[in-house]
Structure formats: C-alpha cells, structure tokens
C-alpha cells in the first residue's frame, strides 16, 4: 500500500496508547512518533518493544528515522497535518494532573501552522480539552476555519489486543468529537480510514464524559461483585459459580468477574476525575466513592486471609503474577503488587514472585527478579494473583502444597489444598 506523503501524522507520546495507535496509522500514513523519554526512543530504534501486547517484529515495520525526541526535533511538528496527543493524565494529591498535555502543547505551539488538526486521545475530566486548547489556539488561528480541534478517547484494552487473543484494535468502536462541525468532519474522515466503526459524539464534553463514565461503570460493578465475593466466602459459596450461573440470563445482567482488586491507569483513576469535577458543582458522589472503597477493601481482605496461613510459622510464599491484569507488563496500581508488598513486611514470610511479563521490579530500593520455578513444591503457599495465560496451571495444580486462588482459575476444583478467595 502506498502511504500518503502529504498527510503526515505526528503522534505525541509513545506509551500504552500512543505506540499501538502509531502502528495502526503507520499502515496507511507516514507517521512521526514523538516522545521525551530517550530510553523509549532508543528501544524502538533497536527494533524492540517495551509493551507486552506488541511484538518486536511489529516494531521493525516502523521507519526509525521518523521517531523523534520531541524537545530536540520541534521543527518536525510543522510538517504534520494531524497531531495526536497520547499523554498520561495521572492524579496528583487526588487532583487530575493535565501537566503532560499542557507542557507538550506549550512546547509545540510556536511550530503550529494553519490547517492542522489536533486530536486529544488522553482520558481527561469533562471540559478539559476546551480549557487546555481553545484560548491559546484562537490567539493564533480560528478554530473550525483554519485550525481544527478534536477529542477521541482511547479504548485500548491491554492484554486483549494481543495476537494470541485475536482481537483487533481497529474493530473497537472509535468515539470521536469536534469543537465545530468542520472539526467533526476532519476527525471523521481521518479515523474512518483505520477504524471499522465510528461513533460521533454530540460534543467534546460528551466524549470526555463517556470515557470517564465507562470506567466508573466498570469500577462500581467490580466493587459490587467483590463485595459479593467477601460475603459468599463467609457463606462457603464460590462466587465464580454464582457469577457464571447469573451470567446465563440473556437480559438485564452484565457479567463482571471478581478479583483481588482493581489496578491500571483507568479504573482506579478515572472515577476520581468525575469525583473531582463533581465538587465544583457541589455534588457528592456516592456510588463512585463506594466502588473505590470496596475495591481497596477486597485487597486488604485477601491480605488478611493469606496472612492467616502464615501467622507464627516460617512460610515460603510464591506470588504468581504481579501485573494489574493478565497478559500485560503493566504494574501501575496493581493489587497483586500491593499483596506482595504486604506479605514482604511479615516477619515469618519469605516472598518470591514469578511473572512472564515482568523480569524485575524495584521495591524498597531493592531490585527483585522474577524466579524460574522448577517445582512449586518448594513453596508453602502458591498465591495466584494475576492469571497470565503463560502459566502452566496443570503443573501448578500438581506440584503446589497449597494454592490461594484470587482469580477463580481453579474454581472447578474442590480440593483441600486450594483456597478460593
């Protein structure tokens, strides 16, 4: 396929959102990739991937002469017709931190030219896109006439877009929005080239809110099923059997699976964006607060349950998986990591971890390495925290002295050596 030389796309931020999008757009357009992390840039130039969903072979397709350090190659911004922001929006003392977007925008602003289109992909609170961009852009251009502002929230599901799970990124419905009708046309005509299904939102604020609402919905319902998990455990009923049975109803029920808590950038963080903006309207959130509370409490409950098997005896524990969900290398806000850290504080507990996606991790200024387990029998407790597909579950079941299952992977086994949490 011949790529468009005229319509160069500049992608700012090559992380968990930016890099998959770059690979998708790279199939049809010339793409310039920008980041300020020189380590990432060097990794890509060495044909290596730093994201578990993306294979090294996919990185080889990228033209390495078009991967730039943003601060060193600002002049390249003027060559781009589309500028896509894929930057982190963390919390800072429970306040949404838009500084990564603001700093990048301020950096590139002198190099903007007429007829460019900005696309913001980052998760933001309702109203943030207009607050960050409108005033400054209109000081130099006229939005909707000779410059275009749009918002299209990412919907990547890490670990589900991998080649082995056969879910293509471009098949996920793409939400789009624009500041004016002309802005809407620009983003629609651009993204329809890559995504099979496009949903045009009524406004930028609708698109911003829908992204946050999607993750609030998940957080609240995961909180509900996790509360049921604690209750049914006391009743000696397996929550996974309950969820499976309820899931047979063809209407009025959406299946959510319990676990050791929630993690990642979206589910623990996005609801707090809405809680923060709600305060400006003197509105007290209830479900949002309760969901967050329960999802933290379930991790504490699991830690107490595991600790009861240690108490006054020396115990050697193995943590299976430390990422926040299966089949990724991301440990941000991971409940699995929180469980591991809590056990490491116990005097009688020696803790190892094994994770096929995380070779090493720094905890308390110490580098811990993932162990290669020859026989699970060497551990008193084998604790399944993250159910990676690469684990040999038959071997784990056969060799382990006692398994603590927080993910329901062994839900069909009723054995004394398996503790279902």
Q: Is 99 helix (H, G, I), strand (E, B) or coil?
A: helix
pLDDT, tens only, 217-257: 999 999 999 999 999 999 999 999 999 999 999 999 999 99
Q: How far apart are CA 154 and CA 170, in angstroms?
A: 11
Q: Which two tokens stand for residue 286?
A: 């209830």
Alpha helices in 320-380 (DSSP H): 335-344
pLDDT, tens only, 92-140: 988 999 999 999 999 999 999 999 999 999 999 999 999 999 999 999 9
Residue range 324-353: mean pLDDT, rounded: 93
Which among 158, 201, 208 has a CA at the least distance from the CA of 177? 201
Beta strand 29-35 with 4-12: parallel, antiparallel or unpaired? parallel
Confidence label for 364 from pLDDT (cuts 50, 70 and 90): confident
**pTM score, two decimals?**
0.91
Across the chain, what does the average pLDDT equal? 93
Q: Is the pLDDT of residue 1 over 70?
A: no
Beta strand 91-92 with 95-96: parallel, antiparallel or unpaired? antiparallel
Q: How far apart are CA 62 and CA 85, in angstroms?
A: 19
pLDDT, tens only, 394-409: 999 999 999 999 999 9
Map out the domains of the chain with their CATH numbers.
4-201 (3.40.50.720), 225-420 (3.40.50.720)
Residue 276 neighbours by CB distance under 10 Å? 15
Q: Cβ distance 13 to 87 under 8 Å? A: yes
- 266 is known as an active-site residue: yes
pLDDT computed for residue 347 by the predictor: 85
DSSP secondary structure letter of residue 315:
E
pLDDT, tens only, 130-188: 999 999 999 999 999 999 999 999 988 877 544 444 457 788 899 999 999 999 999 99
Q: Is the pLDDT of residue 3 over 60?
A: no
Residue range 326-340: mean pLDDT, rounded: 94
Residue range 187-201: mean pLDDT, rounded: 96
Catalytic position from the list 80, 183, 266, 349:
266
Residue 33 neighbours by CB distance under 10 Å? 28
Q: How far apart are CA 280 and CA 254, in angstroms?
A: 32
Residue range 43-61: mean pLDDT, rounded: 92
377-382 long-range Cβ contacts below 8 angstroms, 24+ apart:
377/401, 378/316, 379/316, 379/317, 379/318, 379/352, 380/315, 380/316, 380/317, 381/306, 381/309, 381/310, 381/315, 381/316, 381/317, 381/318, 382/317, 382/318, 382/320
Whether the CA torsion 105, 106, 107, 113 is positive or negative: it is positive
pLDDT computed for residue 237 by the predictor: 95
Q: Is the pLDDT of residue 54 over 80?
A: yes
Residue range 245-273: mean pLDDT, rounded: 93
- Please, is 406 exposed, middle or buried when counting C-beta atoms within 10 Å of its C-beta (0-12, 13-18, 19+)? buried
């Amino acid at each position: 396929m011949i790529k468009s030389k005229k319509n160069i796309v500049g992608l700012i931020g090559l992380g968990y959102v930016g890099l998959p999008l770059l690979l998708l757009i790279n199939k049809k357009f010339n793409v310039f990739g920008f980041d300020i992390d020189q380590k990432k840039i060097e990794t890509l130039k060495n044909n290596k991937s730093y994201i578990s969903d993306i294979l090294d072979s996919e990185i080889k397709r990228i033209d390495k002469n078009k991967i730039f350090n943003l601060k060193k190659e600002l002049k390249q911004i003027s060559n781009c017709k589309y500028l896509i922001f894929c930057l982190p929006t963390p919390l800072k003392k429970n306040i949404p931190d838009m500084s990564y977007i603001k700093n990048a925008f301020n950096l590139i602003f002198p190099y903007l030219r007429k007829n460019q289109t900005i696309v913001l992909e980052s998760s933001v609170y309702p109203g943030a896109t207009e607050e960050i961009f409108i005033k400054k852009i209109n000081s130099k251009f006229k939005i909707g006439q000779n410059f275009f502002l749009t918002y299209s929230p990412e919907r990547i599901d890490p670990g589900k877009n991998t080649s082995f799970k056969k879910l293509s990124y471009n098949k996920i419905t793409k939400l789009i929005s624009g500041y004016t009708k002309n802005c809407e046309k620009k983003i629609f005509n651009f993204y329809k080239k890559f995504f099979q299904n496009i949903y045009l939102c009524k406004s930028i604020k609708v698109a911003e809110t829908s992204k946050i609402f999607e993750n609030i919905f998940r957080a609240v319902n995961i909180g509900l099923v996790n509360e049921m998990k604690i209750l049914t455990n006391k009743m000696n009923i397996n929550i996974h059997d309950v969820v499976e049975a309820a899931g047979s109803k063809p209407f009025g029920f959406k299946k959510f699976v319990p676990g050791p808590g929630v993690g990642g950038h979206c589910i623990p963080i996005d609801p707090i964006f809405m809680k923060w903006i709600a305060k400006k309207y003197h509105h007290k959130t209830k479900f949002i607060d309760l969901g967050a509370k329960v999802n933290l409490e379930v991790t504490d409950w699991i830690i107490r349950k595991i600790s009861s098997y240690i108490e006054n005896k020396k115990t050697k524990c193995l943590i299976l998986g430390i990422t926040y969900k299966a089949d990724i290398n991301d440990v941000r806000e991971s409940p699995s990591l929180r469980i591991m850290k809590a056990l490491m504080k116990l005097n009688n507990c020696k803790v190892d971890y094994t994770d096929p996606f995380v070779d090493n991790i720094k905890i308390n200024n110490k580098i811990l390495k993932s162990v290669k387990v020859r026989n699970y029998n060497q551990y008193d407790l084998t604790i399944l925290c993250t159910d990676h597909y690469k684990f040999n579950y038959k071997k784990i079941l056969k060799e382990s002295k006692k398994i603590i299952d927080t993910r329901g992977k062994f839900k069909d086994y009723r054995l004394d050596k398996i503790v279902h949490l």
